[in-house]
Amino acid sequence: MGLFDKIKNEFVDVIEWPNEGPNDIVWKFPRYQDEIKNGAQLIVRESQNAVFLHEGALGDVFGPGRVELTTKNIPVLTSLASWKYLFDSPFKCDVFFVNTKQFTDLKWGTKNPIMLRDPEFGPIRLRAFGSYCFQVKDAGKFLTQMSGIQHNFQSDEVVGQLRNMLVSRFTDSLGEAKVPALDLASQYDEIGALLKQKMQADFDDYGIELTQFFIENISLPPEVEEALDKRSSMGIIGNMNQYTQYQTANAIEDMANNPGGNGMNMMGMMAGMNMGNMMGGQMANAQQQPGQVQPPATPPPIPQQKPFYMAVNGAQQGPFDHTMLKQKVQSGELKKDTLVWSEGMAAWTAAGEVSELSDLFGAVPPPIPPTPPGKIFD
């Protein structure tokens, strides 16, 4: 230290922390050999505390304001140093400024799922996350219990410890609450307020106040949420029989509006609808409470006959449904030797050889035989 610095050190000092950073919690005021001249000016801004330590022992703590430091107005420090008489020479001590503002929007969350026994679902796993706020309320205790004598201590160095405390207490409290998983969303505020009160005792040990604690989400595993969505969909559908009948009616209407479409696909759809109808009836019966009168079973829809094409004078006509083919037979346009084709047939075939059309020709009388020569009828 140069001569000018030694002379400068003898002038009345101004002790303050003018440039605190957004994440700074504790900052040590730099002094040559930690000497402070008797009569120095201490300036403590709003949201700050100044803490004096002498040989590692906690001394006086000053709140916001301007103070002239003398052995008269620092009684704890004077007692620690055993200064029995007033003097003007410098005294040795450490001065730490502690930021008492509120640190906000700090995140917490469960690293691993929480195993719980739910009254409705049984054993389940839950994840949770949220945010919290804190501020230093006892600067002396925070300095001795948390930051020590570090020259600069930031919020990043304390949030990890606080987050672990929050998650641990949250897990324990959630298990004790025994709230069903589906009712947790309506209890976020109540659970958060209860946890804030319960965890404050842990924060008091470090001179910290937990000012806010928020639960943003408590969620089930993705596969459980997917199963729950399916269950909700079934609840919205309601009566499975009525729903299946509605779907079947739509399919029949689509097939009627598109007679030239893929007949086999339509038949497959109808078969699927019939199967769905039966399954729907079984599910409805399974969900029915004991003793409840079951509604009469609804018969499945009548299966539709597939349409056919006709070859007339070398040209393709159709498709024609069964009713239209019957009319063609009666008018003489469709005969047993007329070539026909439908979905699933390998080639054009005479109508009389197609089993699905056998009933069309059974009701048609055969041609009248010619009258033999010389035969006279009455």
Per domain, the residue ranges of the chain are 3-99, 103-221, 238-284, 308-362
Residues 238 and 234: their CA atoms lie apart, in Å, by 6
pLDDT at 312: 86
pLDDT at 194: 85
pLDDT at 86: 46
Which residues 6+ apart lie within 8 Å of 104 measured at CB? Answer: 133, 212
pLDDT at 4: 45
**pLDDT mean across residues, the chain:** 77
Q: Tell how strand 315-320 and strand 339-341 pair up.
A: unpaired
pTM above 0.85, yes or no: no
pLDDT at 117: 86
Question: Are 315 and 333 in contact, with CB atoms under 8 Å apart?
Answer: no
Per-residue pLDDT of the chain (378 residues; tens, 9 = 90+): 454 454 444 455 788 998 888 889 999 988 766 577 777 889 999 999 999 887 778 888 999 999 888 766 676 655 555 554 444 556 777 889 999 999 999 999 988 888 888 887 888 889 899 999 999 999 999 988 887 777 788 888 888 888 988 998 888 888 887 888 888 888 888 888 888 888 898 899 999 999 999 999 988 878 877 777 776 666 666 566 666 666 677 777 676 676 555 544 555 555 555 555 555 555 555 555 555 555 566 776 666 678 888 988 888 888 888 888 888 888 888 888 899 988 888 888 988 888 888 888 875 555 666 766 655 444
DSSP string for 319-370? EE-HHHHHHHHHHTSS-TTSEEE-TT-SS-EEGGG-GGGHHHHHTSPPPPPP
- Within the chain, what is the greatest distance between any pair of CA atoms? 167
Closest CA to 25 of 167, 195, 207, 171: 207
Write down the architecture of domain 308-362 according to CATH.
2-Layer Sandwich (3.30)
Residues 52 and 139: their CA atoms lie apart, in Å, by 11
CATH 1.20.120.1730 fits 103-221, yes or no: no
Specify whether the backbone of 56 is left (phi greater than 0), alpha (psi in -120 to 50) or beta.
Answer: left
Residues 217 and 164: their CA atoms lie apart, in Å, by 18
pLDDT at 101: 93
Question: Are 35 and 90 in contact, with CB atoms under 8 Å apart?
Answer: yes
pLDDT at 33: 63
pLDDT at 178: 81
pLDDT at 204: 92
Closest CA to 94 of 39, 55, 43, 67: 55
